Protein backbone atom coordinates (compact mmCIF):
# COMPACT_ATOMS: atom_id res chain seq x y z
CA UNK A 1 0.00 0.00 0.00
CA UNK A 2 2.69 2.39 1.04
CA UNK A 3 4.61 1.52 -2.09
CA UNK A 4 1.64 2.22 -4.33
CA UNK A 5 1.19 5.60 -2.67
CA UNK A 6 4.85 6.47 -3.06
CA UNK A 7 4.72 5.31 -6.67
CA UNK A 8 1.70 7.46 -7.23
CA UNK A 9 3.38 10.50 -5.73
CA UNK A 10 6.48 9.78 -7.77
CA UNK A 11 4.47 9.87 -10.99
CA UNK A 12 2.75 13.00 -9.75
CA UNK A 13 6.13 14.55 -8.97
CA UNK A 14 7.43 13.65 -12.40
CA UNK A 15 4.38 15.15 -14.01
CA UNK A 16 4.58 18.36 -11.98
CA UNK A 17 8.27 18.64 -12.80
CA UNK A 18 7.50 18.09 -16.47
CA UNK A 19 4.87 20.82 -16.25
CA UNK A 20 7.45 23.04 -14.59
CA UNK A 21 10.02 22.56 -17.34
CA UNK A 22 7.56 22.45 -20.22
CA UNK A 23 7.64 26.20 -21.05
CA UNK A 24 11.45 26.13 -21.05
CA UNK A 25 11.55 23.15 -23.39
CA UNK A 26 8.96 24.71 -25.70
CA UNK A 27 10.90 27.99 -25.89
CA UNK A 28 14.19 26.17 -26.52
CA UNK A 29 12.68 24.18 -29.40
CA UNK A 30 10.98 27.29 -30.78
CA UNK A 31 14.25 29.26 -30.81
CA UNK A 32 16.07 26.48 -32.67
CA UNK A 33 13.23 26.10 -35.19
CA UNK A 34 13.03 29.87 -35.82
CA UNK A 35 16.82 29.96 -36.18
CA UNK A 36 16.79 27.08 -38.70
CA UNK A 37 13.92 28.54 -40.74
CA UNK A 38 15.31 32.09 -40.63
CA UNK A 39 18.71 30.98 -41.94
CA UNK A 40 17.03 29.20 -44.85
CA UNK A 41 14.35 31.80 -45.64
CA UNK A 42 16.61 34.86 -45.43
CA UNK A 43 19.45 32.94 -47.00
CA UNK A 44 21.86 33.92 -44.22
CA UNK A 45 25.44 33.08 -45.14
CA UNK A 46 27.20 30.39 -43.17
CA UNK A 47 29.95 32.73 -41.90
CA UNK A 48 27.29 34.91 -40.28
CA UNK A 49 25.16 32.19 -38.77
CA UNK A 50 25.21 28.46 -39.65
CA UNK A 51 22.04 26.38 -39.46
CA UNK A 52 21.55 24.60 -36.12
CA UNK A 53 21.21 21.30 -37.96
CA UNK A 54 24.59 21.90 -39.62
CA UNK A 55 26.18 22.61 -36.24
CA UNK A 56 24.59 19.50 -34.81
CA UNK A 57 25.78 17.42 -37.78
CA UNK A 58 29.33 18.71 -37.29
CA UNK A 59 29.10 17.93 -33.59
CA UNK A 60 27.85 14.40 -34.27
CA UNK A 61 30.51 13.63 -36.86
CA UNK A 62 33.19 14.81 -34.42
CA UNK A 63 31.60 12.68 -31.72
CA UNK A 64 31.65 9.67 -34.01
CA UNK A 65 35.33 10.25 -34.72
CA UNK A 66 36.03 10.53 -31.03
CA UNK A 67 34.43 7.20 -30.20
CA UNK A 68 35.82 5.30 -33.23
CA UNK A 69 39.04 3.49 -32.29
CA UNK A 70 42.04 4.62 -34.27
CA UNK A 71 40.46 7.97 -35.13
CA UNK A 72 40.85 11.26 -33.34
CA UNK A 73 38.63 14.27 -32.99
CA UNK A 74 40.57 17.45 -32.28
CA UNK A 75 37.36 19.01 -31.01
CA UNK A 76 36.92 16.42 -28.28
CA UNK A 77 40.60 16.44 -27.42
CA UNK A 78 40.28 20.20 -27.09
CA UNK A 79 37.21 19.74 -24.92
CA UNK A 80 39.14 17.42 -22.63
CA UNK A 81 42.06 19.84 -22.31
CA UNK A 82 39.79 22.80 -21.58
CA UNK A 83 37.73 20.79 -19.12
CA UNK A 84 40.97 19.86 -17.35
CA UNK A 85 42.05 23.52 -17.13
CA UNK A 86 38.63 24.61 -15.90
CA UNK A 87 38.33 21.79 -13.38
CA UNK A 88 41.91 22.13 -12.08
CA UNK A 89 41.55 25.88 -11.69
CA UNK A 90 38.16 25.42 -10.04
CA UNK A 91 39.53 22.99 -7.45
CA UNK A 92 42.64 25.09 -6.71
CA UNK A 93 40.80 28.43 -6.59
CA UNK A 94 37.74 27.31 -4.64
CA UNK A 95 39.83 25.15 -2.32
CA UNK A 96 42.17 28.03 -1.56
CA UNK A 97 39.26 30.49 -1.17
CA UNK A 98 37.44 28.26 1.31
CA UNK A 99 40.64 27.48 3.25
CA UNK A 100 41.65 31.14 3.53
CA UNK A 101 38.12 31.98 4.73
CA UNK A 102 38.21 29.20 7.32
CA UNK A 103 41.65 30.23 8.51
CA UNK A 104 40.73 33.89 8.87
CA UNK A 105 37.19 33.43 10.23
CA UNK A 106 38.81 32.57 13.56
CA UNK A 107 40.16 36.10 13.64
CA UNK A 108 37.27 38.30 12.58
CA UNK A 109 39.53 41.35 12.40
CA UNK A 110 41.70 39.81 9.68
CA UNK A 111 38.80 38.59 7.55
CA UNK A 112 37.03 41.93 7.94
CA UNK A 113 40.20 43.75 6.94
CA UNK A 114 40.56 41.49 3.91
CA UNK A 115 36.98 41.74 2.70
CA UNK A 116 37.21 45.15 0.98
CA UNK A 117 40.30 43.97 -0.92
CA UNK A 118 38.62 40.72 -1.88
CA UNK A 119 35.51 42.55 -3.08
CA UNK A 120 37.65 45.04 -5.04
CA UNK A 121 39.75 42.23 -6.51
CA UNK A 122 36.57 40.42 -7.44
CA UNK A 123 35.55 43.29 -9.72
CA UNK A 124 38.92 43.41 -11.50
CA UNK A 125 38.78 41.79 -14.99
CA UNK A 126 41.18 39.02 -14.07
CA UNK A 127 41.11 37.66 -17.59
CA UNK A 128 43.32 40.64 -18.51
CA UNK A 129 46.14 38.83 -16.72
CA UNK A 130 45.99 35.94 -19.19
CA UNK A 131 48.99 37.13 -21.27
CA UNK A 132 50.97 37.60 -18.05
CA UNK A 133 50.16 34.06 -16.97
CA UNK A 134 51.19 32.79 -20.42
CA UNK A 135 54.48 34.53 -19.77
CA UNK A 136 54.87 33.07 -16.29
CA UNK A 137 53.90 29.47 -16.88
CA UNK A 138 54.44 29.07 -20.66
CA UNK A 139 51.77 29.52 -23.28
CA UNK A 140 51.23 25.79 -23.89
CA UNK A 141 51.31 24.87 -20.23
CA UNK A 142 47.78 24.20 -18.88
CA UNK A 143 48.96 25.80 -15.62
CA UNK A 144 48.71 29.23 -17.26
CA UNK A 145 44.96 28.68 -17.89
CA UNK A 146 44.42 27.01 -14.52
CA UNK A 147 46.03 30.00 -12.81
CA UNK A 148 43.54 32.39 -14.44
CA UNK A 149 40.59 30.18 -13.57
CA UNK A 150 41.87 29.75 -10.00
CA UNK A 151 42.21 33.50 -9.46
CA UNK A 152 38.77 34.16 -10.96
CA UNK A 153 36.98 31.65 -8.70
CA UNK A 154 39.09 32.33 -5.60
CA UNK A 155 37.38 35.60 -4.66
CA UNK A 156 33.72 34.56 -4.86
CA UNK A 157 34.57 31.35 -2.98
CA UNK A 158 36.41 33.24 -0.25
CA UNK A 159 33.92 36.09 0.08
CA UNK A 160 30.92 33.79 0.31
CA UNK A 161 32.58 31.45 2.78
CA UNK A 162 33.53 34.34 5.06
CA UNK A 163 29.93 35.58 4.88
CA UNK A 164 28.53 32.17 5.67
CA UNK A 165 30.89 31.71 8.61
CA UNK A 166 30.15 35.13 10.11
CA UNK A 167 26.47 35.80 9.26
CA UNK A 168 25.20 33.70 12.15
CA UNK A 169 21.82 34.04 13.80
CA UNK A 170 22.79 35.72 17.11
CA UNK A 171 20.26 33.53 18.91
CA UNK A 172 21.98 30.38 17.70
CA UNK A 173 25.29 31.78 18.89
CA UNK A 174 23.71 32.58 22.26
CA UNK A 175 22.46 28.99 22.43
CA UNK A 176 25.96 27.62 21.82
CA UNK A 177 27.36 29.98 24.45
CA UNK A 178 24.75 28.85 26.95
CA UNK A 179 26.30 25.38 26.63
CA UNK A 180 29.77 26.91 27.09
CA UNK A 181 30.72 25.40 23.70
CA UNK A 182 34.35 25.86 22.64
CA UNK A 183 35.13 28.11 19.63
CA UNK A 184 36.14 25.00 17.69
CA UNK A 185 32.84 23.28 18.46
CA UNK A 186 30.97 26.45 17.43
CA UNK A 187 32.93 26.42 14.17
CA UNK A 188 32.12 22.80 13.48
CA UNK A 189 28.55 22.59 14.71
CA UNK A 190 27.31 26.07 13.79
CA UNK A 191 29.55 28.16 11.52
CA UNK A 192 30.45 25.55 8.91
CA UNK A 193 26.94 24.12 8.42
CA UNK A 194 25.65 27.71 8.32
CA UNK A 195 28.21 28.50 5.60
CA UNK A 196 27.37 25.52 3.37
CA UNK A 197 24.53 27.21 1.43
CA UNK A 198 26.79 30.26 0.89
CA UNK A 199 29.67 28.05 -0.24
CA UNK A 200 27.49 26.15 -2.68
CA UNK A 201 26.07 29.30 -4.21
CA UNK A 202 29.71 30.38 -4.76
CA UNK A 203 30.58 26.99 -6.24
CA UNK A 204 27.67 27.25 -8.68
CA UNK A 205 28.85 30.66 -9.86
CA UNK A 206 32.44 29.38 -9.93
CA UNK A 207 31.51 26.35 -12.05
CA UNK A 208 30.28 28.61 -14.86
CA UNK A 209 33.09 31.13 -14.36
CA UNK A 210 35.73 28.41 -14.58
CA UNK A 211 34.63 27.26 -18.05
CA UNK A 212 34.38 30.87 -19.26
CA UNK A 213 37.79 31.66 -17.74
CA UNK A 214 39.44 28.63 -19.34
CA UNK A 215 38.03 29.26 -22.84
CA UNK A 216 38.69 33.00 -22.83
CA UNK A 217 42.25 32.60 -21.50
CA UNK A 218 42.85 30.13 -24.35
CA UNK A 219 41.85 32.91 -26.77
CA UNK A 220 45.15 34.52 -25.74
CA UNK A 221 47.05 31.49 -27.00
CA UNK A 222 47.64 27.89 -26.06
CA UNK A 223 48.01 24.40 -27.52
CA UNK A 224 46.03 23.67 -30.70
CA UNK A 225 43.86 21.12 -28.87
CA UNK A 226 42.02 23.53 -26.55
CA UNK A 227 38.53 24.92 -27.14
CA UNK A 228 39.60 28.57 -27.07
CA UNK A 229 42.36 28.07 -29.64
CA UNK A 230 40.16 25.75 -31.69
CA UNK A 231 37.37 28.34 -31.89
CA UNK A 232 39.72 31.20 -32.88
CA UNK A 233 41.50 29.11 -35.51
CA UNK A 234 38.37 27.63 -37.07
CA UNK A 235 36.70 31.06 -37.11
CA UNK A 236 39.69 32.72 -38.77
CA UNK A 237 39.77 29.83 -41.27
CA UNK A 238 36.09 30.50 -42.17
CA UNK A 239 35.02 27.10 -40.76
CA UNK A 240 32.20 28.67 -38.82
CA UNK A 241 30.18 25.51 -38.41
CA UNK A 242 33.19 23.97 -36.65
CA UNK A 243 33.61 27.03 -34.43
CA UNK A 244 29.94 26.88 -33.51
CA UNK A 245 30.21 23.16 -32.75
CA UNK A 246 33.08 23.99 -30.37
CA UNK A 247 30.93 26.67 -28.72
CA UNK A 248 28.23 24.04 -28.33
CA UNK A 249 30.75 21.72 -26.64
CA UNK A 250 31.90 24.51 -24.30
CA UNK A 251 28.26 25.17 -23.38
CA UNK A 252 27.67 21.48 -22.67
CA UNK A 253 30.75 21.41 -20.40
CA UNK A 254 29.52 24.47 -18.53
CA UNK A 255 26.00 23.11 -18.05
CA UNK A 256 27.35 19.70 -17.02
CA UNK A 257 29.70 21.24 -14.50
CA UNK A 258 26.95 23.39 -13.03
CA UNK A 259 24.64 20.42 -12.66
CA UNK A 260 27.29 18.30 -10.96
CA UNK A 261 27.60 21.04 -8.32
CA UNK A 262 23.81 21.17 -8.02
CA UNK A 263 23.70 17.40 -7.50
CA UNK A 264 26.45 17.57 -4.90
CA UNK A 265 24.55 20.35 -3.15
CA UNK A 266 21.39 18.23 -2.89
CA UNK A 267 23.44 15.32 -1.58
CA UNK A 268 25.32 17.28 1.06
CA UNK A 269 22.50 19.56 2.16
CA UNK A 270 19.31 17.48 2.06
CA UNK A 271 17.67 19.83 4.57
CA UNK A 272 18.28 22.84 2.33
CA UNK A 273 16.91 21.67 -1.02
CA UNK A 274 13.75 20.21 0.50
CA UNK A 275 13.15 23.31 2.58
CA UNK A 276 13.46 25.57 -0.44
CA UNK A 277 11.17 23.34 -2.48
CA UNK A 278 8.49 23.42 0.21
CA UNK A 279 8.62 27.21 0.41
List contacts with other proteins (CB under 8 A). Answer: 169, 171-172, 174-181, 185, 189-190, 193, 196, 269, 271-272, 274-275, 278
Between 194 and 217, name the residue whose CB sits nearer to other proteins: 194
How near is the Cβ of 179 to other proteins at its closest, in Å?
5
Between 68 and 177, name the residue whose CB sits nearer to other proteins: 177
Closest CA to 258 of 193, 201, 174: 201
Between 8 and 193, name the residue whose CB sits nearer to other proteins: 193
How near is the Cβ of 168 to other proteins at its closest, in Å?
11
Report how many helices (DSSP H) and strands (DSSP E) the chain contains, helices first.
Answer: 12, 0
How near is the Cβ of 11 to other proteins at its closest, in Å?
23
Between 135 and 275, name the residue whose CB sits nearer to other proteins: 275
User: Could you tell me if residue 272 is left (phi over 0), alpha (psi between -120 and 50 degrees) or otherwise beta?
Assistant: alpha
Which SS3 state, helix, strand or coil, does residue 169 take? coil
User: Could you tell me if residue 168 is left (phi over 0), alpha (psi between -120 and 50 degrees) or otherwise beta?
Assistant: beta
Count of other CB atoms within 10 angstroms of residue 273: 15
Closest CA to 241 of 82, 44, 29: 44
Amino acid sequence: MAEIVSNGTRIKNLRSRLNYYLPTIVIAIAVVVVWEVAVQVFNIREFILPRPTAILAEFLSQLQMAVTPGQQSILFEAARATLWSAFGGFIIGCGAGILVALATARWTIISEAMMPFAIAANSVPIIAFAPIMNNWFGITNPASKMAIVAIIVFFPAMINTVRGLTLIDPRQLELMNSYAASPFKILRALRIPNALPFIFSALRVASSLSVIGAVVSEFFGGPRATLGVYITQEASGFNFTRAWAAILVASIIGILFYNIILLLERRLMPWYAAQRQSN
